[in-house]
Amino acid sequence: MSDSVPSNVSVHRRLVSRLPTAWTTLVGCLLLAAVYAPLAFASLRWGMTRGVASPMWPAAGVALAAFVLRGRRLWPGVVLGYVVGALLNASPSPLWVLLIVAGGNAAAAIVGQIILERTRFNPSFETFRDFVLFALVSASIAALSSTIGSLAIAAPLHLDSDRVWLMWSHWYLGDVTGVLIVGTMLLAWARGGWPRTMRWWTEFAVCLAMSAAIAAYVFLNRGERMYTFLVYCPLMWAALSLRLRGASAACLFIALTAVAGTTLGYGPFASLEVNARYLDLQVFIAVMAATTLVLAVVADERRAQHALMMSETRLRLALEASDTGLWKIDLRTGRMTFSPECARVTGIDERAISHTREGVATLLHPDDLVRMRATLADAIERRVLFESQFRVRRPDESELWIEARGRALYDADGLPSSMLGTISDITEQRRNERRLAEQASLLDLTSDAILIRDLTGRITYWNDSSERLYGYRRDEAIGRVARDLLRTRFPKSLGDIARTLLDRDRWEGEVVHYRKDGEPRTIHARWVLTRDGTGQPQSVMQTHTDITDRKRADLAAAFLVHLDRHIAQASSADDVADIGLRLLGEHLGLLRCTLSDIDIEQGVIRTLHEWTDGAPRVSGTFDAREFFTSELGATLASGESVAIRDLRSDPLTAQFADNYGPYGTVALAATSYVIEGRLAGTLTAAAGEPRDWRSDELQLLREVVARLWPAIERAKSVSALRESEARFRQMADITPMMVWVAEADGRCSYVSRRWTEFTGRAPETELGYGWKDVVHPDDLPAYSDTVSDAANAQRAFATEYRGLRWDGAWRWLHVSARPRFGAAGEFLGYVGAVMDVTERRDAEDALREADRRKDEFLATLAHELRNPLSPIRTGLQVLNRTEDAETARRTRAMMERQLGHMVRLIDDLLDVSRITSGKVVLQRDRISLQDAAHAAIESARPMIEGARHHLHVDLPSAPLWIDADPTRIAQVISNLLTNAAKYTPDGGEVRLRVFECDGAACVSVADNGLGIPPDALGAVFGMFAQVNRTLDRAQGGLGIGLALARRLVEMHGGSIVADSEGLGRGSTFVVRLPLAVDHPALPGADTHVSPMASRRRVLVVDDNQDAAETLGMMLELDGHATCVAYSALDGLRLVEEFRPEIAFLDIGMPVMNGYELARRLRGRADGEGMMLVAVSGWGGEADKQDAADAGFDLHLTKPVSVEAIQAAIARARKLAIAG
């Protein structure tokens, strides 16, 4: 196809460039010597011990194989290896002999390599010729090396010709077998890939095992010569099945076994004379190796020819199917040959053209010929594939486009010898490409970037939109690999995308491409695979739509949604700002985000919140008056946004650049937030390096500040509301009342801690309608109606119901509530308080019961007082009318009894009052309980005898000593006796028993009277308590006797209990008092004074004239000088005249009371010697103390008995006031 061939100079240059380095040669020589030396040592050692040359010289085969594979430059390794092996064997030959022998071995291998190279020997033994050539060379070089070696050794030893011939024969045959077996095996295993199938290796191992077994049988026994041929069985198997590699290995294995057996004196050759023995062995090995290896080579060649024939058949079929023709050109002669398919492809009869380069050149279009020749010469020169497209003119003047491909072949000297190639008709393809070019001009008008690449990824088309999108000119993009040019980031592995493209002829997805200036762009890519007429993939057309702005908008929207979600979850204004600024900073990759408050009137900027990625923080309040007057400040103050790429060079910020330097700020963007026309603050984004702020980033800043600022204000309001609610809850929890909040539908939304403490339930249990479980079922309907009516009217309400406390007790609760209203006046529900009013209701019930008892008591008191007053009044009338002394005596006795009854009633009332108020002082003394019982019997006897009761008294003989007030203990027993007499029908039985029980003095009073109902036993000791009111009215009494008795007993440290088997079964009262622990005190002196002990001057002062006159009359009857006054002032006047020794003064007098009168009397000069006695209806301890403080010596409570008057007169002046 061309007249140009590479020059010899260029070929020589390439050959020189491929020469190995000296270092590589040195290493190769040393490795060869390392292998050659031990083999030579083993062979020489065998020969020295047997007196003949070694039957096989493997080193010769190693040397020739090494020279064939790596070049004859390794000959020093052969010389060095032989000399080292000989010296290790302590060879008797001189060194010069050893060097000659070593040189001969090296020379023989060199000659063999040269011959094989010149004869174009193929080390792979692909043909029978190669093996025959190798065998002939083996015989030739063996003759050379053995001749040189024999002569070198025989010369100094002066050996005769027979011995030289014998030595030469053994030497020659040993070299032949070594080269033939070892050399063939090394070349066979060194060329081509190693077998990979397990089947081959298994067969190889079995064949070797079989060879070992047969060889051992033949050569390691006293075998017959006829058995020698058995070894050919595994050898033929190896030759036919395992090819040359297996056959050569089997030959080596059997040869070594034969040498070993013969050396040991075994095998078919052992019976011969030594020289004949080893000559026969060598001949056997040579013949065995030659026949086996020839068979293996022939078998391989037949297999190769068959495979080649099949390959040519398949190639011919493929060429016919693909419209491809084969051609070959002899680069030396210019001769060209064509396959029949070439005529069909070109449409030119091969007989019509000259089969030379010149003849073919006439068919090419002149415009393409020069270019094609240059391409061919370059392919041969660079040893690369020849590819060219050119036009061919047919005889009918039509043209077609041909694509030619080929590769040059080179001879042993590296010179180009021929080229083999193909041609195919690409006329339709070129026509399609022209149409595509026309379509490409239309594609340049589209807004999408469109490119076409081949299957290797190289760009073949690049439209104008691609230039605008990526910034690469068409000449910069064409021929570049697309993914490398655009630094594509794929959504998944390129292998997966390629498989999808092959399966579906299209792929669609989002990728990231980088523009020429380094800016990343998000691309929606659509790939379409185009195929040729045969359906084979041809190219890929890619359409790229720039969706960067849309993706940025989507990312911004997603970011804002993410921001809104985090803002909604923030718990405080600080959290809102911190989260918002952090998310914004991380999203935009900022150095700092700052939210500032601007006060234009004050001229200050305050940093409210800030986020940094580790840079210095900008915090505090800054004077910004100069800033607000600048263009930048005015822009921000107007509510506009600013974007500064570099603060140091931008005119807006150059004057403030030094202010930003310490904080690392180089670029910034800021936007303002305006509320109702007022600038509220700014959001500033800072970067640490120059940055071109995009419009979408500025819009994002506006969106963020529009969210953050209101959210912060809302969070502040929420925080304030939460603080208010917390204060409310705290107040609700510490208030003693139970606070609750309910919604408009009645659901409870809050209860205070007091409520949960009351119910003992969890707060969540009470919410909703759970509170209804606490309300008593009987009260719930009414309470629900009350709440519903109040809610309908939206008014306050208050009511009470019973609530279940944690301990299961029903407690009365008072609830009051007021309606809640929203900002728009809508009804929201109620807030209320609940208070436990059980004690109040119990107190109210007790108060009502007390009022009832008081009313009954007053009615009873009036009745009881009228009872004695009526006979007294009648008695007075009788005394006024009768002259009969006996009648007068009986009347006076009756009046004294009634008056005593009245006095006891009043004394009981006073005692109850004093005991209740704790003002009773016991006059304890060591007394006998029997004496107190006697006194009580005497006191109660009139009532017992009046009712005709039978009193049974059981007193112990030994006294029961107690520390007690004798009067009060007698009073207790008397009250029990009178109570028994009162509630026992006339003629009943009353039993009094005094005894000791369990270390206590006990008094038991039992009767067979009305008895006490079981449910009233606990109430008989209550104030004004009476079992049967009707009977009480009949028998008389105030119902305070038992209460008085119980309190007096408890004051003595004792107890009293009542027992009854029921109504009509009588009752029993038992008093227990503690016994005295030591001996009784001696009885005191008798204090009784005779009424007529002495005569005294006595002054009586009382505003009640009847009381004053009766007292004066009684004193005169006792023989005393008496003076009576009816006012305090009259008393003072009479003192001057009467000079009394004793004065009885009433307390409750008008104008001047008795206390003041006593003080004035004590203030007189003679007042200290006067005995003052207070006479008052007030008999409390406080009254007695007031009397003592006023100067009284004694206090008597009305009505005053004659005995008390007499005792008072008889007492000495200095006696203390009695209790």
CATH number reported for the structural domain that contains residue 693 in this entry = 3.30.450.40
* Statement to judge: residues 571 and 705 lie in one domain: yes
Which 3-state string (H, E, C) describes 5-68? CCCHHHHHHHHHHCCCCHHHHHHHHHHHHHHHHHHHHHHHHHHHHHCCCCCCCHHHHHHHHHHH
User: Residue 901 is part of which domain span?
Assistant: 852-920
Q: Is residue 841 part of a domain?
A: no
Final residue of a structural domain among 520, 546, 572: 546
* Statement to judge: residues 269 and 353 lie in one domain: no
User: Given 3-state DSSP classes, what are the helix, strand and coil percentages for the chain, each rounded to the nearest 5?
Assistant: 55, 20, 25
Residue 827: count other Cβ atoms within 10 Å of its Cβ: 14
* Statement to judge: residues 650 and 779 lie in one domain: no
Q: Is residue 829 part of a domain?
A: yes
Helix 128-157 / helix 274-322 crossing angle, nearest 10 deg:
150
Q: Is residue 728 part of a domain?
A: no
* Statement to judge: residues 205 and 298 lie in one domain: yes
State how far the Cα of 286 lies from the Cα of 431, in Å rounded to an integer: 68
Residue type, 208: L
* Statement to judge: residues 1149 and 1044 lie in one domain: no
* Statement to judge: residues 652 and 671 lie in one domain: yes
Final residue of a structural domain among 901, 920, 939: 920
* Statement to judge: residues 1072 and 932 lie in one domain: yes
* Statement to judge: residues 90 and 25 lie in one domain: yes
Distance of CA 1060 to the CA centre of its chain: 74
Structural contact between residues 1139 and 1097, judged by C-beta atoms closer than 8 angstroms = yes
Residue 1096, exposed/middle/buried by CB under 10 A (0-12, 13-18, 19+)? middle
Final residue of a structural domain among 170, 192, 214: 192
HSE-CB for 608 with a 13 A CA cutoff: 21
Q: What are phi and psi of 68, to 5 degrees?
A: -65, -40
* Statement to judge: residues 420 and 278 lie in one domain: no
Q: Is residue 80 part of a domain?
A: yes
Residue 189: count other Cβ atoms within 10 Å of its Cβ: 14
Of 1108, 1014, 1023, the C-alpha closest to 851 is 1023
- Tally of structural domains, the chain: 9
Residue 1029: count other Cβ atoms within 10 Å of its Cβ: 11
Q: What are phi and psi of 425, to 5 degrees?
A: -80, 120
Looking only at the bridges linking them, the beta strands covering 1000-1007 and 961-964 are: unpaired
* Statement to judge: residues 351 and 379 lie in one domain: yes
Residue 808, exposed/middle/buried by CB under 10 A (0-12, 13-18, 19+)? exposed
* Statement to judge: residues 587 and 669 lie in one domain: yes
Q: Is residue 466 part of a domain?
A: yes
CATH number reported for the structural domain that contains residue 877 in this entry = 1.10.287.130
- Spans of the chain below 50 pLDDT: 1-20, 1029-1035, 1079-1093, 1212-1219
Q: Which position has the token pair 């390691």?
A: 220
Tokens standing for residue 1002: 């006990």
pLDDT at 912: 63
Of 580, 837, 570, the C-alpha closest to 718 is 570
Q: Is residue 10 part of a domain?
A: no
State how far the Cα of 969 lies from the Cα of 712, in Å rounded to an integer: 84
Q: Is residue 579 part of a domain?
A: yes
* Statement to judge: residues 69 and 42 lie in one domain: yes
CATH number reported for the structural domain that contains residue 740 in this entry = 3.30.450.20
Q: Is residue 1091 part of a domain?
A: no
